[in-house]
Structures are given as C-alpha cells and as structure tokens.
C-alpha cells in the first residue's frame, strides 16, 4: 500500500567522508523511530529558486520518500509504502 | 542480385533502459523489487498502463493495457502513478554516463539513447567492452536495479534491432557476418517501423519474413512496394547503411487532458483549456516561437471525436492569445455535449523575432514582454507562482507527464 503524506518529521542525517555517502540515519514519525537501512535513490529537484533533496529510503519494512528543503533545512515525509497492492 | 551489405565495423550503439518507468520505481522503492508492478497514467481500473515491470511482463501484462485487464491477469499486481521528476533525473544521469564515451549522443526518448562512436577515440576500446562498462556504471552510479539492453551495429536501425534481441539486460552485435542469421529468426513486425499494416503490404508482394525483405531488390521496393523513395531507404537500412541520422524539426506544441470529472460546464472547461494553453504557451515561448495555427480536439462522453484547426492571420504568443484563439474554435462545436478529453495544439510555428510589429495593435509588444517576465518569475520561484486567474484551484489538475518518444 502506498500512502501520500506531507508531514514534517525529525531526521538524523549521517555523512561518511571516507565513502562520501550521505544518507538519513534515523527518522521519527508519529512518535516512532525508524532506522534507515538502505538508500533506494537520491535526487535533487528545483522548484523555482528552492532546492530540495529527495531521498527514497527503506528501514527494511517500509519505504519512505523524504524531502529536504535546503532553504529552511526542514524535512518532509512525502510518502510511505510497504510494497503491497493497494 | 547480391546485396551490398555494409561491411564496415559497427560504430553505433543503441541503449534502452529495461521497463524504464517501472524499473526506476523499483530502484527507488526496494519493496517493489521482484514484484509485478505497473506504472499507469492513473491508478484507477480504466487507467492506461505506461510500463509494466519485467516481472509483470513475464505474466503477460503489456504496455497499453488497462489496469483492470492487468488485475485480471495478476490480481496482486501493484499499480503506481509515474513520478516524472524521478524519471527525468535518471534520464539525466543516463545521458551523463553515455556522454563520457562520445560527444555524439542522441536521446531518442526518455529511456533510449543512440551513441555514435565514428568520431570518438573511445572506439579503440571496442564497442562490446564499452557496452559492458556502461551497463556496470548504470548499476553502480544510478542504482543496482537498473538494467539496460545494448545493441551495436553499423546503423541506428540495426543497433535498435540488436538492443531488442535479448531482453532484459542483453548485449548484442549485428554486423555483416550475422545479419542474415538474425533476420532468419525474426518476424517482419519485429523490425522497428514495420507494423501490421506494413506487414500486410509486404505480404501482398510476396515478402513474408525479414530475410525475404533483405533479398528484395532496390527497384522493386521503390516501384512496387513503397512506391517512392521510402523503398530505397528500406533497402539501405536493412543492409546496415545509415539513413536515419537526422533530427526532426518540431512543427507543433500540444497538451491534452482526460477529464477526471466529465462535464459540459463551460466555466469548468474554460479553466482546463486555460491551463492547457498556459502549459503549451510556456513551451512555445521557451522555444522563441509563435504560432499561427491552432487546433482543438474534444472527445465527448459518447466517444465521438470532434476537432477543428485553423490558421489565423495574427500569430499567438502569450497564453491569453493562445486561449482566445482556442476558445474561438471551441465555440464552433456543432453540439454542446459532455466532454471527456480535451487536446489543444498550436502549429505553423515561426520565430517570434521574425514577426514584424503590427501597425494597428500597439500593445502587443508590451503584452509579450509581460508574458516573458511572468515565465521568468515562474522559472525562478516555482511553477505557477503567478498564473491566470482562470486557473485558480487548478494546481493539481493536469499533471506533469512524460510523452512517449519524447523527454
């Protein structure tokens, strides 16, 4: 099932300088912590002058689509899905 | 007659991402991997399938089917809407990687690219090893789920054919040594550009398979089969000579929209037409063109199609100008009926700088400059920051789409 959301969430982000890998480490959504295990895809998108980083990540149970606003440094959870038919 | 098959070493590579939209969605969403997935224009039962995943294809689900048909074949099929922003980003990366090997690269669509190595120093490495390297780089730099087919040959037609031989994740070379063997395993409709109607035309003159097509001489193809120069192009194309190395000049811009809520309410329809004109106008202005011809097509609730095109004396450039011309056509409908689909397009394009200023209408220049300024504001601060008042409440209507065969 796929659910479109647009909720502000808390994120701990990690950057590994040796591997040059940047990925959300943990997200807190609805008072629950989700540890990110894998990055599916990362890309950037411009909406006018604002630059957003979109992270498609998974904690092993759910896939999350996260949007990082580089203008105000906020995180939005845009979508969750579990890979099952709706 | 002995066929003059091109015996040169292959220099053309055709790369085709496998099940592009679906594979990219699976890359971004690891839980979708290995499952039957379809990307549909709309996730409703009547939505048209744009791309089935490799797993869905194996079950018999095909592009163009309705979602409900796919659900009959596989009740557990996962249905998703396309994510054009994600797909365009993958396309950019895909092009960037290909650009590392030759300066002469031509995107044929969002998921296909042709690389011409004839002037590239990389050719020394051998096209097969470059193909293998590109596949590896796609997996490492775009994502491990991304696979592609690589076809190598002496012309674009055969390179594309080679890329279709072993799907998914194949790499094939067609040259003068194996050309006949490849043709002997294929049907006429496996050739790019031969559909069932062309096949019927070939069958009428006794050509039933690609090998017979290859053996047919030039004059017969020109005079008896295609009745024109097209026959000669086919004669050359089949033998590995390049005839498709050209770019089509854009002749029109268009937008269409299938209404979620069918209606005959003029105010509702005007809003949609305005938004279509705004999207079309943005593209028209970005190309520095204006249009003299306008076309409107409407599909009604009873599946009747009505359309009207007209060439106007004055060019259209601003969204308002496009909208007012389309509305002139709209009011020429013979009957007022419930509309289910609207298509607008503009044609007869001319560079806007070549149009002399009007003697009678003095405000045209000002309006055009304002229109360009509005486009700049939207480019800078985000799409639809400023928009015509008629488009109020329309932000999520008429979604961004990637057209077939375009980027």
Task: Compute CA distances B167 → B10, B54, B130, B147, B164, whole Å.
Answer: 21, 9, 19, 10, 6
Min mean pLDDT across B31-45, B116-130, B183-197, B352-366 is at B352-366
Q: Are residues B5 and B83 in the same domain?
A: yes
- Indicate yes or no: CB of B28 within 8 angstroms of CB of A38: no
pTM reported for the whole predicted model: 0.82
- Indicate yes or no: CB of B30 within 8 angstroms of CB of A58: yes
- Indicate yes or no: CB of B32 within 8 angstroms of CB of A43: no
Q: Are residues B331 and B378 in the same domain?
A: yes
Tell me, what's the pLDDT at B96?
94
Q: Are residues B168 and B105 in the same domain?
A: yes
pLDDT at residue B398 greater than cutoff 80: no
Q: How far is B20 from chain A (nearest CA, A)?
A: 15
The angle that helices B84-99 and B20-28 make with each other, rounded to 10 degrees, is 100
Task: Compute CA distances A68 → A45, A53, B88, B226, whole Å.
Answer: 10, 5, 19, 57
Evaluate whether residue B247 is within a structural domain: no
Q: Are residues B268 and B378 in the same domain?
A: yes
- Closest A-chain CA to B90: A43
Tell me, what's the pLDDT at A7?
93
- Closest A-chain CA to B382: A48
Average pLDDT over residues B290-316: 93
pLDDT at residue B130 greater than cutoff 80: yes
Evaluate whether residue B407 is within a structural domain: no
Q: Are residues B84 and B190 in the same domain?
A: no
Residue among B269, B336, B267 at smallest CA distance from B304: B336
CATH of residue B332: 3.30.1490.100
List, for residues B159-187, the tens digit of each pLDDT value.
Answer: 999 999 998 899 999 999 999 999 999 99
List, for residues B250-272, the tens digit of each pLDDT value.
Answer: 899 999 888 878 899 998 899 89
The angle that helices B266-286 and B364-381 make with each other, rounded to 10 degrees, is 90
Tell me, what's the pLDDT at B400?
62
Evaluate whether residue B353 is within a structural domain: yes
Evaluate whether residue B244 is within a structural domain: no
B348: left (phi over 0), alpha (psi -120 to 50) or beta: left
List, for residues B55-100, the tens digit of each pLDDT value.
Answer: 999 999 999 999 999 999 999 999 999 999 999 999 999 999 999 9
Q: Are residues B256 and B332 in the same domain?
A: yes
Task: Compute CA distances B368 → B92, B124, B270, B290, B318, whole Å.
Answer: 32, 52, 22, 10, 6
* A34 contacts A62 by C-beta, under 8 angstroms: yes
Residues in chain A closer than 8 A to B79 (CB atoms): 85-86
Residues in chain A closer than 8 A to B86 (CB atoms): 41, 43, 54, 56
- Indicate yes or no: CB of B29 within 8 angstroms of CB of A48: no
- Closest A-chain CA to B35: A83
Among the candidates B238, B262, B282, a domain finishes at B238
B16: which residues sit within 8 A by CB, 6+ positions away?
Answer: B111, B112, B148, B149, B151, B160, B163, B164
- Indicate yes or no: CB of A2 within 8 angstroms of CB of B76: no
CATH of residue B161: 3.30.70.270
- Closest A-chain CA to B74: A85
Tell me, what's the pLDDT at B152?
96
Q: How far is B378 from chain A (nearest CA, A)?
A: 7
pLDDT, greater one: B164 or B2: B164
Phi, psi of B256 (to 5 degrees): -140, 165
ipTM of the prediction: 0.92
For residue B229, what are its two tokens?
Answer: 């120069």
Interface residue of B31, B56, B84 to substitute, partner A, most A CBs within 10 Å: B31
pLDDT at residue B366 greater than cutoff 90: no
Tell me, what's the pLDDT at B399?
59
Task: Compute CA distances B335 → B62, B299, B304, whole Å.
Answer: 37, 12, 11
Residue among B261, B262, B340, B265 at smallest CA distance from B297: B340
- Indicate yes or no: CB of B85 within 8 angstroms of CB of A40: no
Average pLDDT over residues B104-119: 92
Q: Are residues B23 and B80 in the same domain?
A: yes
For chain B, give the percent of residues with pLDDT over 90. 70
Evaluate whether residue B345 is within a structural domain: yes
Q: Are residues B19 and B63 in the same domain?
A: yes
Average pLDDT over residues B31-54: 91
- Indicate yes or no: CB of A48 within 8 angstroms of CB of B31: no
At residue B54 the predicted structure's pLDDT band, cuts being 50, 70 and 90, is very high
Residues in chain B closer than 8 A to A2 (CB atoms): 80
At residue B1 the predicted structure's pLDDT band, cuts being 50, 70 and 90, is very low
Helix (H) or strand (E) holding B377: helix B364-381
Average pLDDT over residues B353-359: 75
Among the candidates B177, B212, B228, a domain finishes at B177
Mean pLDDT score of chain A: 93
Tell me, what's the pLDDT at A48?
80
Evaluate whether residue B305 is within a structural domain: yes
Min mean pLDDT across B256-260, B335-339, B353-357 is at B353-357
Evaluate whether residue B258 is within a structural domain: yes
Tell me the residue range of the domain where B189 lies. Answer: 180-238
- Indicate yes or no: CB of B77 within 8 angstroms of CB of A40: no
Q: Are residues B323 and B343 in the same domain?
A: yes
Residue among B254, B288, B391 at smallest CA distance from B383: B391
Q: Are residues B91 and B19 in the same domain?
A: yes
Q: Are residues B196 and B124 in the same domain?
A: no
Evaluate whether residue B405 is within a structural domain: no
At residue B39 the predicted structure's pLDDT band, cuts being 50, 70 and 90, is very high
For chain B, give the percent of residues with pLDDT over 70. 95
A76: which residues sit within 8 A by CB, 6+ positions away?
Answer: A6, A7, A8, A9, A66, A67, A69
pLDDT at residue B138 greater than cutoff 70: yes
The chain A residues in contact with chain B (CB within 8 A) are: 2, 38, 40-41, 43-45, 47-50, 54, 56, 58, 62-63, 65, 81-86
CA angle in degrees (0–180, nearest 5) for A64-A65-A66: 110
Q: Are residues B230 and B304 in the same domain?
A: no
User: What whole-number distance in Å separates Cα of residue B47 and Cα of residue B40?
Assistant: 6
Count how many domains chain B has.
Answer: 3
């Amino acid at each position: 099932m796929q659910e479109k959301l647009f909720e502000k969430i808390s994120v701990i982000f990690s950057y590994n300088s040796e591997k040059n890998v940047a990925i959300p480490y943990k997200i807190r959504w609805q008072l629950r912590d989700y540890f990110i295990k894998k990055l599916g895809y990362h890309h950037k998108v411009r909406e006018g002058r604002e630059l957003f980083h979109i992270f498609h990540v998974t904690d092993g149970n759910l896939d999350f689509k996260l949007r990082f606003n580089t203008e105000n440094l906020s995180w939005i959870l845009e979508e969750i899905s579990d890979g099952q038919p709706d | 007659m002995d066929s003059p098959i091109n015996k040169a070493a292959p220099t053309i590579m055709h790369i085709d991402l496998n099940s592009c939209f679906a594979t990219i969605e699976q890359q971004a969403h690891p839980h979708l991997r290995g499952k039957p997935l379809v990307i549909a224009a709309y996730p409703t039962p009547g939505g048209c399938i744009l791309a089935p995943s490799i797993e869905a294809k194996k079950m018999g689900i095909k592009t163009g089917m309705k979602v409900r048909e796919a659900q009959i074949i596989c009740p557990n099929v996962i249905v998703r809407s396309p994510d054009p922003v994600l797909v365009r980003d993958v396309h950019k990366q895909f092009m960037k990687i290909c650009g590392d090997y030759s300066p002469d690269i031509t995107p044929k669509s969002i998921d296909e690219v042709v690389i011409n190595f004839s002037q590239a120093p990389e050719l020394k490495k051998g096209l097969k090893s470059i193909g293998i390297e590109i596949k590896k780089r796609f997996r490492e730099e775009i994502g491990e789920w991304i696979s592609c087919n690589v076809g190598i040959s002496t012309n674009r037609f055969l390179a594309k054919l080679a890329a279709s031989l072993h799907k998914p994740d194949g790499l094939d070379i067609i040259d003068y040594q194996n050309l006949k063997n490849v043709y002997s395993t294929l049907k006429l409709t496996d050739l790019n550009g031969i559909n069932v109607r062309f096949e019927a035309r070939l069958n009428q003159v006794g050509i039933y398979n690609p090998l017979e097509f290859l053996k047919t001489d030039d004059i017969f193809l020109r005079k008896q089969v295609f009745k024109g120069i097209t026959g000669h192009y086919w004669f050359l194309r089949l033998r590995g000579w390049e005839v498709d190395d050209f770019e089509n000049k854009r002749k029109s811009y268009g937008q269409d929209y299938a209404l979620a809520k069918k209606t005959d309410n003029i105010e509702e329809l005007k809003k949609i037409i305005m938004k279509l004109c705004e999207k079309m106008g943005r593209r028209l202005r970005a190309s520095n063109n204006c249009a003299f011809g306008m076309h409107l097509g409407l599909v009604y609730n009873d599946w009747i199609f009505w359309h009207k095109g007209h060439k106007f004396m004055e060019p259209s450039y601003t969204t308002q100008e496009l909208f007012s011309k389309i509305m002139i056509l709209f009011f020429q409908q013979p009957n007022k009926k419930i509309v289910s689909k609207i298509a607008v397009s503009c044609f007869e394009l001319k560079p806007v700088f070549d149009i002399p200023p009007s003697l009678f209408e003095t405000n045209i220049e000002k309006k055009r400059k304002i229109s360009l300024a509005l486009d700049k504001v939207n480019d800078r601060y985000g799409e639809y920051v400023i928009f015509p008042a008629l488009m109020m409440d329309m932000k999520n209507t008429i979604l961004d789409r990637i057209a077939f065969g375009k980027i």
